[in-house]
Structure 1
Amino acid sequence: MRGDAAGGRGYGSELAPWAIVLVSGTALVVCGGMWLGGTLGAALTGSGWSSPPFTFATFGTLLTDGPGKLWPDASPAGVITGIVLVFGTAVAVGALAARRVLRYVSRPRGLAGNRELASMTPAGIAARARDLRPSLKGREHLHPDETGNLLGDLAPHGPELRSSFEDVELDLMAPRAGKSTGIAVPRVLRAQGAVLLTSNKSDVYSVTRAEREKAGRVWTFDPQSIAHTPRGMWWDILADCHTIEGARRLAGHFVASVNDDQSKKDFWISAAQNTLTSLFLAAARGKASVLDLLAWLADPADRTPVDLLRDVGMIAMAEQLQGTVRGAVETRDGIYETARQCVACLLDPEIVAWVTPDPKLPQFRPHQHVLGRDTLYLLSKDGGGSAAGVIAGLADTTLRAGVIAAERMGGRLDPPMTAVLDEAANVCRISDLPDLYSHLGSRGINVVTLLQSYRQGSRVWGEAGMDALWSAATVKLLGAGLDDADFVEKISKLVGNRDVRTGSVSRSRDGTSRSYSYRLDPVLPADRIRALPKGTALLLATGVRPALIRLRPWYEEADADVLSAAARAETAAITERAARTWAAGPHAPVESAGRWQRDAVSLDKP
């Protein structure tokens, strides 16, 4: 009992000096403010600088007898006003200082701050933009969107951060975590050059279409009626198939749309890709159509593609295709059936019409698109029957057209091209995207790939491919809802550890003593990464420490009312078009689908 009492008295006696200092300091501040405020008020009201003695008696007089006795020639109202102004100023300065302190205290320890991210802040990114874009040199004032791609605001209170026009981005977020509202829509709206967007929904299209029409022409490729847009264009799917490389790439996109893992191609998948390559090459070189190609697939005994390849001097390809046709019947039929499954979406007349020449409609030309400020929306459903192979083919052709245009410009597109591959694992499976990623960034093509998880990407490109995509991305955003425990644990290790000081107090009869120890704790444990709030993301950029940012959804920007009105109008138009489609019935004739199309897609030869 005595020991406890002694310890308690020791602890209380230790705090007593600090209590005296606190009370004395408060009294000094209050008295000083009243003395200074009253003197200033008197001077400002015309009685001159006449300060009373700075003593406690002076303050007692002020409280009991009022300001008239201390400043007899001054207006009492002026004296009181001066005191209020001094204390008001002190409170404002104190609040500002407290706010700065709270900002410093609330900033997550161990993450990057303003100094580390200087190259991504407005001043740093503007200097980088002048180096990358010759058209900006000599201009003193630049619009923020001309300098880089908006990522968000550094948590908790800014500044805004942007990536450069040579960065390529990979974003992993769960559904409804802000991919569309905080990344896809702002990136499309703020794009400086040509735009390419892939999606399986019409939300981004509805918000951005009206604004993009102000920048340039809008091309909507909607073969499966995601936005129920009337067909207003056509694309020559065989345009780049005059070379073996182009034909193989197109065949690879169709194969990827049905193959869940590109790293595990079995015999039938590989053989089907080789066969499709030969058929695409024969159709392009022989000036045949996609419908002719479907007929060749339906009848493996048809020698037309072999003859076409021979006629144009592609003897080796002709012999290879002939060898497949003359092989064992079971093997040949298995290869052709696999190839038919890969291009099954072209059996739908509503899809094939978009890639069939139509003299009544304008043709989309990727090599012209990448040089302007036009927008290309590629919309497709995912799952069975999707047009993912066609979408991937058109997206890949457009990206490669951007590379060619950049090479002709001296190495980089100016203004840069923006490609937002939303739902890339579902509707835009470009098989060699991981290999193209870093190269696209060096050409001024800003690619943003949006995935729901790391594992989703691994299913499409394989573990090695997804690792390559992760490594090639110079900017990575990890948002809310990442539930892969192994992946989140790896991210926690990448973020790193920090020293945490732990204090302990021991009390005895002789007094109180303190000691401190240090331990390493994760800056962001796995559970905190998984529980990131919606609208926030962990930023991993090349060459800097990780940072926590707040996304900037389009509906929180200054022009949100205008965009909302445009989105409502577009959504109403989509609903009306959908109602007309359903009213027409499931057997309504397909627009521009002639007799030859209907006959070709109904072929079912053994």
Structure 2
Amino acid sequence: MRRGAGGDLLPWLIPGLALVNLAVFVLLWLGGTLAAALGGYGWRPPPFRLDVYLSLLGGGAEAVWPGVPPALVYAGAVALLPLVAAPVVAGTRAVVRRLAAQPSNLAGAADLRGMTGKAAEARARELRPSLRDVPRLRPDDTGNLLGDLLPSGPELRSSYEDVELDLMAPRAGKSTGIAVPRVLRAPGAVLLTSNKSDVYLVTRRERARVGRVWTFDPQGIVYSERDMWWDMLGGCRTLEGARRLAGHFVSSVNDDASKKDFWIAAAQNTLTALFLAAAHGGATVGEMLGWLADPGDRTPIDLLRDAGLEAMADQLQGTVRGAVQTRDGIYETSRQCVACLLDPEILAWVSPDPDRPEFVPEEHVLGRDTLYLLSKDGGGSAAGVIAGLADAVVRAGVVAAERMGGRLDPPMTAVLDEAANVCRIADLPDLYSHLGSRGISVVTLLQSYRQGVRVWGDAGMDALWSAATVKLLGAGLDDADFVDKVARLVGQHDVRTPTYSRSRDGSSRSVSYRQEQALPADRIRALPKGTALLLATGVRPAVIRLRPWFKEPDAAPIAAAAKAEAQAVTDRAAAAWRQRAG
């Protein structure tokens, strides 16, 4: 007769039942004896025999201790219950842990000790000079909270030099278990991109307690009043800066990074030249759009020559003087890339405004301020602007880290939620390879691996996957090829299978082993909401439980602040609709 893995516990069933009966007998025997003595009936311990135990179980306490009230006997046994309960509970927990144990090649607490306790604290002191003389560190100073190791802990934290890639389906806990906790717990400056208001609503008022909150909301996701502007052309005085900004606008309309045809490449070159001309000539974004509308306007060519950028001026002039059909095709593609700037509501956020403060990325990365970058998906999206500003902040963080000797202290947290929709930074996979070493903790949130391939191509997504030192794979991953690849990464483990046989000569028991995948593809796909598979560099895979913000001890005041913020957004939305209607 063959048993499953649980059959391995069958030989312990009879000893376990015997132990439980022994514990109950000891309670009744000792409790009754002590109760009789303390009640004035004398010290009269009965024989420790089976018939005595059966009498006590059957309610015959008076026959065991004549003259002693049965209620006193059983009360004495109940009084001693805590003394016996402790070892019984410990034994039960041990059995439960064995039943719930992860496959042998998944990481246990010992494997992950570098992400817990003293090891995490030592690592934080090494990375952040400002903490070296602090006698006692707060948990959030030691690293980013990932979650609790299943089934029973401990709490796991990545370091602030780790860069993270999280893949989870919608409503699998990305916002509540990852984005919100990272923003709330961040020790330094914060950058958040999103196409929804959920993270903003929960975190805005809490972040306002530690620093200034900047909300870049050109499309009215939270109906925020425009109280800032960003000099979009400020970083375009170099060829690299202008080309990067042009690349963000091109990526926002190019659905497949692996397919960059002639028109897309030519549009990026043209936008690069126009951004350079505007930055060196002191022109506004609006004036730059005017040049783009009129290919015959020589102003950008003259400005490039005045700035000593002869080669760039010649290239732009060659485009303008080329075949009319080719020139018009290039300029039309360029206009499509920056079409969002034709919306005056969006243009106002990137145009100088003497009545509002300017957001300066170089200042932001040095403090504890928070920047929310919000944009809608689809047509009219400000994704190009959002990606440009996010990239400007990240690059400012790199420059500041170099000036500090290598790393930002305190580290900056960048949560790129909906990165494939509203923050398509074309070379993000390349940036990942060194951002962590600069004290910039980046978390990129995607709905699937294939979504990343659509933005960065197969090679780019492979590079992003390889560069991420921490990866969390949550519920609802339906890409069969990808999930099967992850199952192979997790590996196989030995399954112990006991076999029992009976014959006329007696019974025998043998044990055999076979190899099975530790986490088959179907189990990875069916991970419960709120859990994730952790793949961290240098350790075996582990399954963790995420820590949603609303289950933390301090959730009540945060929830109250979120409710108040949601009401404020509702009021602003109502006012905006009344204004439009009136």
TM-score of the two chains, using structure 1 as the length reference? 0.88
Query: Displacement, 1:38?
Result: 4.3
Matches within 5 A, 1:126-137: 126-137=121-132
Identity between Structure 1 and Structure 2 (%): 70
C-alpha offsets along residues 553-599 of structure 1, whole Å, 9 cap, x if unaligned? 1111122222222222222221222222222228x9xxxxxxxxxxx
Change (3 A) 1:496 1:287: same
Cα distance in 2, alignment partners of residues 57 and 461 from structure 1: 78
Change (3 A) 1:37 1:398: same
The one-letter code matched in structure 1 to 2:79 is: L
Cα distance in 2, alignment partners of residues 167 and 457 from structure 1: 20
Q: Which residue of 2 aligns with 1:98?
A: 92
Given the alignment, which residue of 102, 109, 115 partners 2:103? Answer: 109
Cα distance in 2, alignment partners of residues 217 and 55 from structure 1: 76
1:395 is aligned to 2:372: no
Cα distance in 2, alignment partners of residues 21 and 322 from structure 1: 91
1:326 is aligned to 2:313: no
Query: Displacement, 1:49?
Result: 8.0
Query: Displacement, 1:26?
Result: 6.1
Change (3 A) 1:536 1:18: closer
Query: Displacement, 1:19?
Result: 10
Moved more, 569-578 or 247-256: 569-578
Cα distance in 2, alignment partners of residues 143 and 29 from structure 1: 44
Cα distance in 1, alignment partners of residues 366 and 452 from structure 2: 30
Given the alignment, which residue of 412, 426, 439 partners 1:417? Answer: 412
Moved more, 143-152 or 576-585: 576-585
Q: Secondary structure at the match of 1:506?
A: strand
Cα distance in 1, alignment partners of residues 358 and 563 from structure 2: 30
Matches within 5 A, 1:438-587: 438-585=433-580
> Are 2:44 and 2:65, in contact at CA under 8 Å, matched by a contact in 1?
no
Cα distance in 1, alignment partners of residues 12 and 548 from structure 2: 49
Q: Which residue of 1 aligns with 2:211?
A: 216
TM-score of the two chains, using structure 2 as the length reference? 0.92
Query: Displacement, 1:67?
Result: 7.2
Cα distance in 1, alignment partners of residues 308 and 80 from structure 2: 93
> Are 1:205 and 1:377, in contact at CA under 8 Å, matched by a contact in 2?
yes
Query: Displacement, 1:108?
Result: 2.0
Q: Which residue of 2 aligns with 1:596?
A: none
C-alpha offsets along residues 126-161 of structure 1, whole Å, 9 cap, x if unaligned? 221111111111223211111111111111222211
Query: Displacement, 1:540?
Result: 0.6
1:169 is aligned to 2:164: yes
Q: Which residue of 1 aligns with 2:28?
A: 34
The one-letter code matched in structure 1 to 2:205 is: A
Change (3 A) 1:135 1:26: closer
> Are 2:23 and 2:84, in contact at CA under 8 Å, matched by a contact in 1?
no
- RMSD (Å), alpha carbons: 2.6
Cα distance in 1, alignment partners of residues 281 and 47 from structure 2: 106
Cα distance in 1, alignment partners of residues 12 and 320 from structure 2: 95
Change (3 A) 1:48 1:154: farther
The one-letter code matched in structure 2 to 1:469 is: L
Query: Displacement, 1:88?
Result: 3.8
The one-letter code matched in structure 1 to 2:422 is: V
Cα distance in 2, alignment partners of residues 444 and 519 from structure 1: 45
Cα distance in 2, alignment partners of residues 44 and 150 from structure 1: 54
1:371 is aligned to 2:363: no
1:362 is aligned to 2:357: yes
Query: Displacement, 1:341?
Result: 0.6
Q: Which residue of 2 aligns with 1:383?
A: 378
1:86 is aligned to 2:103: no
> Are 1:44 and 1:78, in contact at CA under 8 Å, matched by a contact in 2?
no
Given the alignment, which residue of 101, 125, 144 partners 2:139? Answer: 144
> Are 2:189 and 2:412, in contact at CA under 8 Å, matched by a contact in 1?
yes
The one-letter code matched in structure 2 to 1:408 is: R
1:349 is aligned to 2:350: no
> Are 1:220 and 1:378, in contact at CA under 8 Å, matched by a contact in 2?
yes
Query: Displacement, 1:513?
Result: 3.1
> Are 1:67 and 1:79, in contact at CA under 8 Å, matched by a contact in 2?
no
The one-letter code matched in structure 1 to 2:152 is: H
Cα distance in 2, alignment partners of residues 118 and 198 from structure 1: 32
Q: Secondary structure at the match of 1:238?
A: coil
Q: Secondary structure at the match of 1:257?
A: helix
Cα distance in 1, alignment partners of residues 302 and 509 from structure 2: 92
Q: Which residue of 1 aligns with 2:6?
A: none
C-alpha offsets along residues 357-387 of structure 1, whole Å, 9 cap, x if unaligned? 0000000000000000000000001111110
Cα distance in 2, alignment partners of residues 36 and 149 from structure 1: 52
Cα distance in 1, alignment partners of residues 352 and 94 from structure 2: 64
Change (3 A) 1:578 1:413: same
Cα distance in 2, alignment partners of residues 155 and 551 from structure 1: 10
Q: Secondary structure at the match of 1:215?
A: coil
Change (3 A) 1:137 1:159: same
Change (3 A) 1:158 1:304: same
Q: Which residue of 2 aligns with 1:158?
A: 153
Q: Which residue of 2 aligns with 1:192?
A: 187
> Are 1:392 and 1:428, in contact at CA under 8 Å, matched by a contact in 2?
yes
> Are 2:550 and 2:559, in contact at CA under 8 Å, matched by a contact in 1?
yes
Q: Which residue of 2 aligns with 1:282?
A: 277
When Rg is computed on C-alpha atoms for both structures, the one with the higher figure is: 1
The one-letter code matched in structure 2 to 1:545 is: R
Cα distance in 2, alignment partners of residues 19 and 424 from structure 1: 53
Q: Secondary structure at the match of 1:504?
A: strand
Cα distance in 1, alignment partners of residues 51 and 452 from structure 2: 78
Q: Secondary structure at the match of 2:209?
A: helix
Cα distance in 1, alignment partners of residues 55 and 94 from structure 2: 38
Q: Which residue of 2 aligns with 1:600?
A: none
Q: Secondary structure at the match of 1:237?
A: coil
Change (3 A) 1:512 1:340: same
Change (3 A) 1:369 1:322: same
The one-letter code matched in structure 1 to 2:211 is: G
Query: Displacement, 1:454?
Result: 0.2
Q: Secondary structure at the match of 1:157?
A: coil
Q: Secondary structure at the match of 1:518?
A: strand
> Are 1:67 and 1:76, in contact at CA under 8 Å, matched by a contact in 2?
no
C-alpha offsets along residues 19-39 of structure 1, whole Å, 9 cap, x if unaligned? 997887666544444343345
Q: Which residue of 1 aligns with 2:226?
A: 231
Q: Secondary structure at the match of 1:185?
A: helix
Query: Displacement, 1:100?
Result: 3.1
Cα distance in 1, alignment partners of residues 330 and 547 from structure 2: 49
Q: Which residue of 2 aligns with 1:595?
A: none
The one-letter code matched in structure 2 to 1:212 is: R
Change (3 A) 1:509 1:243: same
> Are 2:189 and 2:365, in contact at CA under 8 Å, matched by a contact in 1?
yes
Q: Secondary structure at the match of 1:367?
A: helix
> Are 1:122 and 1:162, in contact at CA under 8 Å, matched by a contact in 2?
no
